[in-house]
Structure 1
Amino acid sequence: MNALAPSNEKELLNRLRSGDGSSFDQIFHSFYPSLCYFANRLLADRSIAEEIVQDALFQVWQKQGDFYSFQSLKAFLYISTRNACYNHIKKERSKTLRLETMMLDHEPDETTVLHTIIETEVFAELYQAIEALPEQCRKIMSMIVDGQKPRDIAAELGVTVSTVNSQKMRGVGLLKARLSGEGLATLLIIISGSITRH
């Protein structure tokens, strides 16, 4: 999620409460990637996760007059998304005995949800930092974080594998100055192949 200065957050919420559609578009694009990641971690179903997040964000537009701080807006979105994910799990449980058995073993508890929210915020920080990189470096780092291999990236972008690797090293160097300890550690783990993105 893109970070905003407190004054900009206040202005954005004021515009939202007045019914300004462009402010909702900005909020949508700021929260959508992180919330999709969060929902997909709970459900392991990207298409359902995206539908749930779109519904949660649409509720923000319907309740536009209810939000007086970005923290309350963020809390509403995470709680709404979490609850919708739980409801989806419960509906799936009732369909077959196999699904019910699986969900009894794997329904996330509150500790897991909290951990996933923290993880989501770290990835949001990482993606935000990558967006500020020079164009070619940004493209390559985004593809690496999404789990693509250097050879595949080179073929898709029409560059050499050595170019991909040199841009990766450049990207890591630039990101070191922009990321928190958790964000940098996550980046290095992804690059080492220890994390597989969904």
Structure 2
Amino acid sequence: MKDQKLIKRLRKGNPKAYKYLFTEYYDWLCNYIYNLCKDHSLAEDIVQDTMVGLWEKRNTIMITASLKNYLFKTCHNQFLQHIRSNKMRFDTLDKLKWDLISEITLEEDLYDYKMEKLNNLINQLPPRCKEIFIQNKLEKKKYKDIALDLGISEKTVENQMSKALNFLRTNATTFML
């Protein structure tokens, strides 16, 4: 069928003209799109969308060049549109990923900063007080065990822990908020 006759029949809604167009160009268009994307399913989806769009817009479509060129260009544009929409989705996901990584890194940096400041404060404690604090809070020893290890009373351990905690509370408020 000549292109102009086929286009006229399509505009009139002739299903035989549409079927002819479909069987004549479908495989060719699928191969063309497949060569662009290397995905059979995507190629078929794009060509089918193009063919359905042609049928739906048959009354308003103005085809001045060859029908084959029109279909080729329409499929090509559909493929580019698919790439653009996927790129936008990818860009959005990529931005979210990098925002999350940045946030995690900032939190880790803040944690490292706070730990460094806290360690500096612990190092400012008097030696005996520091030793008792480390054994209790970092080594998880009980007051009784610390007192036995150091040969001092439990009351002394309590007093030293109280001094350490008061010192840390007073001096750590500036960076722990």
Normalised-by-shorter TM-score class:
0.3 to 0.5
Q: TM-score, normalised by structure 1?
A: 0.40
Structure that is richer in helix per residue: 2
Q: TM-score, normalised by structure 2?
A: 0.45
Structure with larger Rg = 2
Higher RCO, 1 vs 2 (CA within 8 Å, ≥6 residues apart): 1
